Amino acid sequence: MPEESHENVPSRQRRRFEGISSRAYEHPADRSALVALRKLSGFDTVFKALSGLLPERSLRLLFLSDSVRVSDAQFAHLNDMLRDACYILDLEKVPPMYVNQDPQPNAMCIGLDEPIIVVTTGLVELLDEEEMRAVIGHEVGHALSGHSVYRTILLFLTSLALRVAWIPLGNIAIMAIVTALREWFRKSELSADRAGLLVGQDLKASMRGLMKIAGGNHLHEMNVDAFLAQAEEYEAGGDLRDSVLKILNVMPRSHPFTTVRAAELKKWAESRDYQRIMDGHYPRRDEDGDTKVTDSFRESASAYATHVRSSKDPLMKLVTDIAGGAGDIGGRVRRGFGGFASGSSAGSPKDRPQDDRPDDESPNGAS
């Protein structure tokens, strides 16, 4: 049977999204970057020219020679899920998929000319059928969005940064690009999580899969509500020091933290946008050429602004206060850092100048 065939349909009735554009499920920050890149004249040609420099051929040969290619004869149940996912998202050509021996649960979609999907044995052994269906849908979403191109470049640049670390400033320049790509790719992971939900159409299975990736195959010891509460505690907890540590912790990662992914996916599943897609109202691929870059950037900026305004993170609250012109910003910073701002340089209370205002009057009128 040719790889492009969609003979098998989902094992239970699922909605199919004929002609769906990846813009339907892409996170606004991911979408704006992709729309801008797609609009650049000659962009695809330049990236094709890079294929000789990137280790894509090597990767393909490596997986072909040292992994198991999914087919009707090998991992047939995964092959059925792959064809189902491509059928639901109306991806015309089914990408090759490999199972790689690795106890670490992981999956990826890479490739410049054509995407290839790789899942590890650790992931296959960890997830049940519906959870795995969401993961494969996640990777097919990457393929439909064209993420595999940028993912391959990110892998190449990360490797290159290690090779040129001895060159003065060379590593810094490349790592600046890598850091920007990682920030984009973390948003693209949120997009692919949404694609996985559109394929599986089972939010509980998607949540179970994320929980297992975080805590292993111990669902009887885990609880979805408690897991989501962790995300809320992570978002709101701590002071400004913790906010800085969160940024430093996430910068080297290509994926958002698992609890954050679960919370973001649940929020999207409860949104009007998701319901409209399920009702058959979504942007189509044949309309992609008419998409305006300015509109996409505007949506991205609006999404970030909404995130900052609604965030419970201490640093985001401070940003909102500064933007809103709130008073006593210095005091808020000092309190946020738990006294870090008032070190020995500030002196002891008796060494500091006394405020000659009345005891019941504080600076800026703040109580």
Cα separation, 276 vs 282, whole angstroms: 7
Q: How many CB atoms lie within 10 A of CB 116?
A: 23
Reading the block at residue 92, the tokens are 């015309």
Q: Which class for 147: exposed (0-12), middle (13-18), buried (19 or more C-beta within 10 A)?
A: buried
Cα separation, 120 vs 328, whole angstroms: 52
Reading the block at residue 196, the tokens are 């996985």
Cα separation, 315 vs 113, whole angstroms: 42
Q: Which letter, b or e, does each residue of 236-259 get, where b requires 16 or more Cβ atoms within 10 Å of its Cβ?
A: eebbbebbeebeeeeeeebbbbbb
* DSSP tag of 283: -
What dihedral angle (degrees, nearest 10) is formed by the CA atoms of 210, 304, 287, 6?
0
Residue of 26, 139, 189, 264 marked catalytic:
139
Cβ pair 75, 3 in contact under 8 A: no
* Catalytic annotation present for 299: no
Cα 19 to the center of its chain, rounded Å: 24
What's at 108, amino acid-wise?
M
Reading the block at residue 148, the tokens are 């595999």
Cβ pair 256, 190 in contact under 8 A: yes
Cα dist from 47 to 52, 96, 99, 232, whole Å: 10, 21, 27, 40
Cα separation, 139 vs 195, whole angstroms: 8
The residues annotated as belonging to the active site are 139
